[in-house]
Chains A and B, each alone.
Chain A
Amino acid sequence: MVDARGLSCPMPVVMVQKEVNANKPSELEVLVDAKVCVENVTRYATSQGYKVEVKEVDGEFSMMLKKA
């Protein structure tokens, strides 16, 4: 899991990229707390062949990245 809550863009994308490059997970949960970060991480994940599901709870976002 990548917990990027409290961080502003582009840091969450950098953290997710690091995790994807290091471990090539088939599934990865990413936590962010800004809509912009959801959008940016979604663009990154899509470019790497992941499908993305987003759940919003109390202004925080849980993103599930799954290899398509």
Chain B
Amino acid sequence: MEEIKLTKLANCAGCGAKVGAGVLATLLEDLQVHNDPNLLVGFDKSDDASVYKVSEDMALVQTVDFFPPIADDPFTFGAIAATNALSDVYAMGGEPKLALNIMAVPKDMPKEAVHEILKGGYSKVYEAGALITGGHSILDEEPKYGLAVTGFVHPEKLIRNSGTKPGDVLFLTKPLGMGIITTAAKVDMVSKETYDRALELMMTLNKNARDAMVKYDVHACTDVTGFGLLGHASEMATGSDVELHINVDDVDLIDEALQLATIGILPEGMYRNRDFAEKYVDAGDVILAKQDMLYDPQTSGGLLIAVDSKDADAFYEELKTSVPSAQRIGVVNEKKGEFYIYLH
């Protein structure tokens, strides 16, 4: 098969291609939104997926996500894009069931590469216990791949990205630094070891984190993707009207990504996230490179979970054996100060 470097065909990598949260809000402004009593989650709180109650014990979870190549190897790219798309269902506490491929392919892209992207996607959908039931593809100059995913959740066990309460403990399930590492990889500035680890992390389903989370009293959850930890955390904090206090030393920052952040190897998306979320954040005396990492856009990142303090210890123990990096990163307080997020 002809060697093909997929990321060379992409202008922005993975979730870094996401339209900024601030811009998105203006694009959606004034669009008429129809409501329905059974629509449990819609546009209103910038949540991860929409949720519609079908019956007293079943709600439908729907989401769609796709992006340009984040990896050179087509199978890996497909697997990451699928893992990322499935993640939104997990973040709602749901289980994915049906998936449709969404794909854009350049006219001259070798057939084998397209096939490998799909194979990567299928492998993750099947690992998730879901089915691929169809899809849609178009011709485009830049390849893109992702999924529209439908899942199920019990309406009373639905976990939103808002609803965290004072006293809750915050957990994160994957390390940060994917955006920086994939940016550095474009100019061969990252070690193979770190790059391979990042790919592996991005291909790890958030299924285990979800399966652990639903056993405990979880008040809010979101997956950390294009808006970075602080972008997604600020949506959680403003939506819940609370203060999040994050101990930066307890956040798992990939070492090499931190070194790269220090010398300015940062994706454009980091600055977009900063522009959007900075107004909510009191960065205290946290050094700039660490702050930058907290704004770094993640592709297929982990879950940010707010759990009731009575369950925090047991949940932490369970996470330690089930997710790539179990981190107890902070607490939730009553909103008293000027900011929504305080870094310590």
Contact = CB atoms under 8 A, between A and B. Distances in A.
Interface of A: 8-11, 13-14, 17, 35-36, 39-44, 47-48
A47 B262 contact: yes
Interface of B: 183-184, 186-187, 189, 261-268, 271, 288-289, 292
A11 B264 contact: no
8 A-B pairs with least C-beta separation:
A43-B264, A40-B264, A44-B264, A44-B263, A10-B265, A13-B264, A36-B268, A14-B187
Contacts of B268: 8-9, 36
Contacts of B183: 9-10
A11 B187 contact: yes
Contacts of A44: 263-264
Contacts, number: 46
A39 B289 CA distance: 12
Contacts of B184: 10
Contacts of A14: 187, 189
A38 to B, nearest CB: 10
23 contacts: A8-B268, A9-B266, A10-B189, A10-B266, A11-B187, A13-B263, A13-B264, A36-B266, A36-B268, A36-B271, A39-B266, A39-B271, A40-B264, A40-B265, A40-B266, A43-B262, A43-B263, A43-B266, A43-B289, A43-B292, A47-B262, A47-B263, A47-B264
Nearest to A17: B263
A11 B264 CA distance: 11
Given A13-B264, A43-B289, 15 more contacts: A8-B268, A10-B186, A11-B187, A14-B187, A17-B263, A39-B264, A39-B271, A40-B265, A41-B264, A43-B263, A43-B264, A43-B266, A43-B288, A44-B264, A47-B263
Contacts of A9: 183, 266-268
Contacts of B267: 9
Nearest to A8: B268
Contacts of A13: 263-265
Contacts of B288: 43
A13 B268 CA distance: 13
A15 B262 CA distance: 16
Contacts of A35: 271
Contacts of B264: 10, 13, 39-44, 47
B289 to A, nearest CB: 8
Nearest to B267: A9
A45 to B, nearest CB: 8
B326 to A, nearest CB: 30
